[in-house]
Structure 1
């Protein structure tokens, strides 16, 4: 019997949830996704030091205030990292817009377009880049416009069904519903010590979204993310894509048991009927979902904090004032 990882690859596109170039080279996933937290960890490695130096140099040449140079340097660093990652994979890489812009549609649009322009300046085929945006109402509006401009988006920090429906109706290319963080919330708030994989609330959330999309012929790609264990991954075998950390990739590689398909577009069924999602409905349904509201806010805060720490590291290592 082949490994569960090899079996998974026959039914799901496997994405590496890491910015570590060595790990990506080792696992050779189809795609890769990064965020400020992953870039912060990767930036401490020797492999990233030349990219840091180049990012600072390019940002300094652009002029502007110290603050403008700093944010530009971190954007360039993300792009240079994405460029190196694309050399190691055949598919696409996701690069995230600053989480501090999550409630500002215009600023998100401006930053997303800049990231694409920076990739173009580096000679990268921008069709291989997904712009990663938090799935706030403002973020979804920005993604809708970017998709019309031919810039494909990955809507992240997605915890609720209403977020998923709004993203699909906006025509976003891909969503990243978080599995493990949903489980974290339920463990912290229900008094339960554990959940079997089949009852995992994060797994159930992604399964519901997947079946709704396929049953209603939405083209938005579902990419499960933020896994806590391989049981969650196995219960979502057959999902369009799954982004998996190197630690869990290794566990799947070491396991040679049978891995059955759990999700299939052919067999997807959903009797849920959802009309057009406007801002009022989106905000009301979000307000009614304590888990999604709390985890979205927490995720934005965490990514923003790591973005700030990344900027501090750029200042410290490369003397950007």
Structure 2
């Protein structure tokens, strides 16, 4: 049995891609997208007609509405290939505007419903700012399930759990990137790989907190740089993995051992944590890695959203 199939015995495997034509070979349960992945896909010849057709079908509408139609079109194609859910992201430029995030999420869900897809098959991705988490709190009350992304710190995870968010996506690889860059020549890859990887350790702490205190929010490790990071989190609720790493897992038959276990987490010695808005903002400020990576991630997604806007504007 290959490593991918072994991993599926412990963890729900999710494909992280806008390139939906790659999905069938890996048989993931769910799939995630983001503005950068969608932008990358529509620049390829295989997907350019999808963009052109969607823009043509909605010509005359506001630019932001056409953008959402493109995102939903990709989601609909993905849902033909996965049995579970697709994650569709709210514009990162709304990351500090709760009311606009709620409105955009409602619109996305409405677009899916008009296409015959119920809200149980869609997760709305929102950046894990304080404003994004409060928007997700309201959306969850309305029955719209959320995936809180760009999550780098324990305080973000705690606040998401308190808000009743359905799922979070802590970014393993980007945490790893930050610590490796900070260490420079002193970084020891062998010593800080696998279970000692700082991104892996962050997810393990969040997972333990949730399971120990019976918090129902699901943990989906994301943004992996190598297979070692994936395997070190075997047993996490979900893992969203790029096609390149899925292929590496599929090509190996080395044994996979469960690393995260809910029973062990419930038995752990773990202190409770809570954050009001002031406490959340201070804790985030005290974590330079999380502060920098959250801001950087929002800027990058916003920049790619602007590029997608320009591509659509040129065709409408």
TM class by shorter chain equals over 0.9
What does 1:3-22 correspond to in 2, within 5 Å? 3-22=2-21
Q: Which runs of 5+ in 1 are unaligned?
A: 63-68
Work out the CA distance in 1 between the residues paired with 2:205 and 2:276. 21
Indicate the RMSD between aligned Cα atoms, in angstroms. Answer: 1.3
Per the TM alignment, residue 127 of structure 1 is displaced from its structure 2 partner at its CA by: 1.3
Per the TM alignment, residue 58 of structure 1 is displaced from its structure 2 partner at its CA by: 4.2
Match of 1:82 among 63, 75, 78: 75
Find out whether 1:164 has 2:157 as its counterpart.
Answer: yes
Find out whether 1:252 has 2:249 as its counterpart.
Answer: yes
Q: Which region of structure 1 is more displaced relative to structure 2, 75-84 or 192-201?
A: 192-201
Which residue is 1:178 aligned to?
171
How many residues align structurally?
A: 311
Q: Which region of structure 1 is more displaced relative to structure 2, 272-281 or 2-11?
A: 272-281
Work out the CA distance in 1 between the residues paired with 2:128 and 2:5. 31
Per the TM alignment, residue 54 of structure 1 is displaced from its structure 2 partner at its CA by: 3.6
Per the TM alignment, residue 59 of structure 1 is displaced from its structure 2 partner at its CA by: 3.3
Work out the CA distance in 1 between the residues paired with 2:308 and 2:104. 17
Per the TM alignment, residue 50 of structure 1 is displaced from its structure 2 partner at its CA by: 3.7
* CA deviations over 1:15-67 (Å, ceiling 9, x no partner): 001010211122221000000000001112344334323432343354xxxxx
Per the TM alignment, residue 275 of structure 1 is displaced from its structure 2 partner at its CA by: 4.3
Which residue is 1:301 aligned to?
299
Which residue is 1:226 aligned to?
223
What does 1:68-107 correspond to in 2, within 5 Å? 69-107=62-100
Which residue is 1:114 aligned to?
107
Contact 2:119 2:145 in 1 (8 A): no
If the length of structure 1 is used for normalisation, what is the TM-score? 0.94
What does 1:239-278 correspond to in 2, within 5 Å? 239-268=236-265, 269-278=267-276
Work out the CA distance in 2 between the residues paired with 1:43 and 1:218. 38
Which residue is 1:147 aligned to?
140
Work out the CA distance in 2 between the residues paired with 1:117 and 1:55. 17
* CA deviations over 1:67-104 (Å, ceiling 9, x no partner): xx221111100001100100001000000000000000
Partner SS state of residue 148, structure 2: strand
Work out the CA distance in 1 between the residues paired with 2:23 and 2:65. 25
Q: Which runs of 5+ in 2 are unaligned?
A: none
If the length of structure 2 is used for normalisation, what is the TM-score? 0.95
Work out the CA distance in 2 between the residues paired with 1:275 and 1:27. 38
Per the TM alignment, residue 312 of structure 1 is displaced from its structure 2 partner at its CA by: 1.3
Work out the CA distance in 1 between the residues paired with 2:27 and 2:39. 21
